[in-house]
Each structure stands twice: as C-alpha cells, then as structure tokens.
C-alpha cells in the first residue's frame, strides 16, 4: 500500500489516538480477575546484535481471545498456510502466561476510551505485537518511521497496516493474516517463525478512522529483520521488556495540541501514541507494571 496513512495508520495518527492509559471515566482499571502482579520477565544484560521471528491466529475480537492450551501449533519450519491462520498457546514460554490470561479477559473499555463504531465502519487494520527472547531477555519488536516522511517522522510503531481484500474477514482471521503480511513487508521477518497466540480487542483511532486489531505473537524461530523500504522505515529494533517496565524510562508524552498519553524513552527513541498505549495496557494487565512518575512530562521532540 503506497498511501502513508494506510500503511502506517496506527501511530501515524497517534496524536489523537486512544488515550489507552485510561478507562472511559478516567480511572485506572484493575487487572481482570483481581489485582495480581507478576515480576516483569528479563533482567538487564549487555546488548547484543539481534535477529527476530513470527506465525498465525484466529479469534473473536469483541472481547479479545486466545487459543486453548491443547490446540496444536504448527512447526516453525512448516510451509505458511495462507488458507488458515491458526491461533495457539501451545509451547509458549511460561513468562507469557500473564499476557495470555490478560488477552482472554480484558474488556475493550479497559484498553481505550475510543471503541470501534457500533454497526461497523472504520478502516480495518492490524498490528503485530511480537514478543521475542534475546540476549537481554524477553523483548518486543518495533520499527521507526523514516525521518523524511511528512507525518510523524521518526516515530516508533508496531509493524502493521490496513487489511487487504485477500486477508479475509475483518471479524475473523483477516487481522491475523494482515498483521503477519505487513510485518513481513516492513521488516523482512519470516512469518513461519511466528506463533500467533492471542488477539486484543479492536480499538478505534477517530482522527484517521482506523479500527486497529492488536495481534499477539511469539517469535518462536527468529529470523533476520531490517528496514525493507528505507523511504518508509528508518530502522527495525527490539526493546527488552525490562527496559519498558523500568520506571526511569517512563513518562507522559505531551502533544503540542495538549493531548497526553503514556510514553517510553527506550533505545534512543520516544515511543508514544497508539503503540505506547498498547504496551502500557499490556504491562498493566499482565501485572508487570512498576510504579512510575505520572507527573513526568516529555515533549514529542524529546531527544531530537
């Protein structure tokens, strides 16, 4: 897709995207099933060169979904099945269990104040929230938009974009196929190495009219990743979960128009907007969130 808004419809409009750190009434929600906390996985270690991974899923998006534990998972080396994109939790590392539980129980209004229009509507898109395990422990795959782009130059985001007709039903496996396809197109990862294990409820970005489905993946068999199109992507990188949970790396990003939302100061980048909101909610509902200074404010040009 050549249109910049279509290709990066998630964070390219993040300034007025969902304030995913709040419930509709502005109160901090509690983790579903009780306020359980789990130690964040991973411990700081020396940074090493990284090589990533990816795979497939299908489920109800109204409440988020995960597959039953006994669902057979495809082998990482098996040919990609474009007819069906399975969702499985079999063989996941135990540190992902809190994420699996959160995806199965979290409500849409616990993720965002902005929900998809009733009766349909909105431009359907999906992002791949890909967990891997690198030299510094559990991590997430992100990419950074090229600095030459007209909108949101240099902004980090999840791989993802709009659903194509061949991706299939937006209410079924369409978002799963789109998330893998877009991730392969943008980062060069091998989808056969990705195991999709969950889907978060779809969220709405009013300013761009995008309905975005976050698809959760486990990088079972990492493959090299890179910026496939340097005109659109400056770099592809990973962030350790331990860095995302470190209170020293957390702040509230302030948009010039006054909008505020959670942000992460990691890997020489300011992660904000839709991407930061989704990460913030995953950390919270997985019980990995550590107390951080919500009065700390940073501008969007932090670090520039």
Task: Quote the CA–CA distance of 293 and 31 in Å, as a whole number.
Answer: 20
Pick from 49-53, 63-67, 112-116, 192-196 the range whose average pLDDT is largest. Answer: 192-196
For 149, the token pair is 């782009």
pLDDT digits (tens, 9 = 90+) for 250-259: 999 999 888 8
Structure-model confidence comparison of residues 208 and 4, the more confident one = 208
Per-residue pLDDT tens over the stretch 279-303: 999 999 999 999 999 999 999 888 6
With CA atoms as reference, report the closest residue to 163 among 124, 127, 203: 124
Domains along the sequence of the chain with CATH? 4-24+51-71+81-239 (3.90.79.10)
Its pTM stands at 0.76
pLDDT digits (tens, 9 = 90+) for 98-111: 999 999 999 999 99
Q: Mention every residue, 6+ apart, whose C-beta is less than 8 A from residue 11.
A: 17, 145, 152, 155, 156, 157, 158, 273, 274, 275
Whether the per-residue pLDDT at 112 is higher than 80: the answer is yes
CA–CA gap between residue 48 and residue 97 (Å, rounded): 26
Residue 35: partners with Cβ closer than 8 Å, 6 or more residues away: none
pLDDT one-digit tens code per residue, 45-59:
333 333 433 322 223
């Amino acid at each position: 897709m050549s249109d910049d808004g279509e290709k990066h419809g998630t964070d390219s409009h993040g300034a007025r995207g969902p304030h995913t750190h709040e419930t509709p009434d502005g109160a901090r929600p509690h983790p579903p099933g009780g306020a359980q906390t789990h130690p964040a996985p991973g411990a700081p270690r020396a940074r090493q060169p990284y090589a990533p991974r990816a795979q497939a899923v299908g489920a109800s998006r109204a409440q988020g979904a995960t597959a039953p534990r006994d669902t057979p998972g495809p082998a990482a080396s098996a040919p990609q099945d474009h007819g069906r994109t399975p969702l499985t939790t079999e063989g996941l590392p135990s540190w992902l269990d809190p994420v699996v539980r959160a995806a199965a129980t979290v409500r849409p209004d616990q993720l965002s104040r902005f929900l998809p229009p009733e009766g349909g509507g909105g431009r359907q898109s999906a992002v791949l929230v890909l967990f891997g395990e690198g030299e510094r422990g559990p991590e997430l795959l992100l990419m950074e938009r090229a600095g030459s782009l007209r909108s949101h130059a240099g902004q980090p985001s999840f791989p993802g974009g709009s659903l194509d007709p061949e991706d299939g039903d937006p209410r079924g496996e369409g978002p799963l196929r789109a998330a893998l396809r877009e991730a392969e197109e943008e980062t060069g990862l091998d989808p056969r190495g990705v195991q999709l294990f969950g889907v978060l409820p779809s969220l709405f970005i009013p300013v761009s009219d995008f309905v975005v489905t976050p698809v959760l993946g486990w990088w079972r068999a990492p493959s090299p990743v890179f910026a496939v199109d340097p005109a659109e992507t400056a770099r592809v990188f990973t962030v350790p979960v331990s860095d995302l949970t470190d209170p020293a790396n957390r702040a509230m990003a302030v948009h010039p128009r006054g909008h505020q939302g959670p942000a992460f100061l990691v890997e020489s980048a300011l992660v904000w907007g839709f991407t930061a909101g989704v990460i913030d909610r995953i950390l919270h509902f997985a019980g990995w969130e550590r107390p951080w200074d919500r009065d700390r404010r940073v501008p969007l040009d932090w670090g520039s």
